[in-house]
């Protein structure tokens, strides 16, 4: 009986050793594949939206330092000038509001004049915005529409306008999503727009696979950018609450808002300041022979939110909302 037990234990141990070896081999092969770099990078053009600040600004400087030909789209002339002052003469800027069709058409023609017959190697859809902090019921319809126009509709329109040039170069499209595009628990319109980015990217990747075009999504967790600036975010959130209809304030109660406000203040103060974690993933998606389909970035994304997204919904709901305050008129 003891011998049988030892035999079974030995088989179990052997099985686990094989499993560990297979997992180790998988990651070793992936590591080797992902280290292979595209040749002649100095001849390739990359167009990036939202370069005034944040991820787009850092990525533009990062790729310029590596020798790529960066075409940076900024929302304001001030942002464009500041970027030009920090980069080489190779980098060129254009003013672009992704919510305006005529603006996109002008930018597309501008890109065509620069890339010529080479085509556009990389398109990075980075431009984005977020509505003020607060529950979905507190938001104004116009704030939600702006989020969709920038984060999803604008991204789709820029992509379709630039796509012939990307296809010519058999290049890359990098769409900036969010961890809230994988598991939605706040920012109703923002999360919805990022779910849309995920769906659009998945469809486009499958449709373009035979043209040699690769699509990647970057899904950052919580990082310190202009969209997550503590003071501005809290001020906008308080304004939304102050302007909310009386019946909404009565339903939630002032104490609810105060608790929510303080919790958001704590969460925003914990945002990572290492933006390179995100831009390094963007750079890899543009320069690796074998880019990933998805890059989940940040400790919070990789070790909390992504695992949480695979749990049963009821369990995920409990974990996410167990510490949330209760509204005044909660049942």
Catalytic residues: 190
- Helix, strand, coil shares of the chain, percent, nearest 5, are 60, 10, 25
Count Cβ atoms within 10 A of the Cβ of residue 118 and give its class: 0-12 exposed, 13-18 middle, 19 or more buried: middle
Among the listed residues 311, 285, 296, the one whose alpha carbon sits nearest the alpha carbon of residue 221 = 296
- What is the sign, positive or negative, of the torsion defined by CA atoms of 328, 229, 147, 291? negative
User: Could you give the residue ranges of the DSSP H alpha helices within 149-273?
Assistant: 155-169, 188-208, 230-243, 246-252, 254-269
Q: Which two tokens stand for residue 234?
A: 């809290």
Report the distance separating Cα 269 and Cα 85, nearest Å: 30
Other CB atoms within a 10 A radius of the CB of residue 5 amount to 9
> 155-169 vs 101-115: helix axis angle to the nearest 10?
20
Question: Buried (b) or exposed (e) across 26-55, using 16+ Cβ within 10 A?
Answer: eeeeeeeeeeeebeebeebbbbbbbbbbbb
d(C-alpha 214, C-alpha 272), whole Å: 29
Q: Where are the beta strands (DSSP E) in the chain?
A: 45-48, 69-74, 92-95, 122-125, 172-176, 214-220, 294-297
Cα–chain center distance at 136: 21
Residue 68 tokens read as 């790529």
């Amino acid at each position: 009986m003891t011998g049988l037990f030892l035999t079974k234990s030995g088989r179990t141990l052997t099985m686990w050793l094989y499993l560990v070896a297979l997992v180790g081999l998988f990651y070793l092969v992936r590591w080797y594949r992902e280290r292979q770099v595209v040749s002649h990078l100095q001849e390739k053009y990359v167009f990036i939206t939202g370069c005034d600040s944040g991820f787009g600004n850092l990525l533009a400087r990062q790729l310029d330092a590596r020798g790529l030909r960066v075409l940076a789209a900024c929302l304001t002339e001030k942002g464009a000038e500041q970027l030009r002052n920090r980069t080489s003469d190779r980098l060129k800027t254009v003013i672009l509001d992704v919510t305006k069709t005529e603006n996109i058409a002008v930018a597309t023609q501008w890109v065509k004049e620069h890339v010529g017959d080479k085509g556009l190697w990389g398109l990075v859809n980075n431009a984005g915005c977020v509505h003020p902090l607060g529950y979905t019921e507190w938001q104004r319809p116009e704030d939600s529409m702006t989020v969709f126009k920038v984060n999803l509709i604008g991204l789709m329109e820029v992509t379709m306008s630039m796509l012939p040039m990307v296809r010519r170069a058999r290049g890359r499209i990098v769409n900036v999503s969010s961890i809230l595009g994988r598991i939605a628990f706040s920012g109703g319109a923002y999360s919805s727009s990022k779910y849309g980015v995920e769906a659009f990217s998945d469809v486009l990747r499958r449709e373009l696979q035979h043209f040699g075009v690769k699509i990647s999504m970057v899904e950052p967790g919580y990082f310190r950018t202009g969209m997550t600036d503590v003071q501005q975010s809290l001020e906008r959130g308080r304004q939304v609450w102050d302007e909310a209809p009386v019946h909404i304030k009565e339903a939630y109660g002032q104490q609810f808002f105060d608790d929510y406000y303080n919790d958001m203040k704590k969460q925003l103060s914990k945002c990572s300041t290492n933006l390179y974690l995100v831009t390094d993933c963007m750079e890899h998606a543009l320069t690796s022979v074998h880019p990933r389909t998805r890059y989940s970035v940040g400790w919070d994304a990789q070790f909390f939110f992504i695992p949480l997204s695979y749990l049963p919904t009821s369990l995920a709901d409990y974990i996410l909302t167990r510490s949330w305050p209760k509204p005044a008129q909660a049942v």
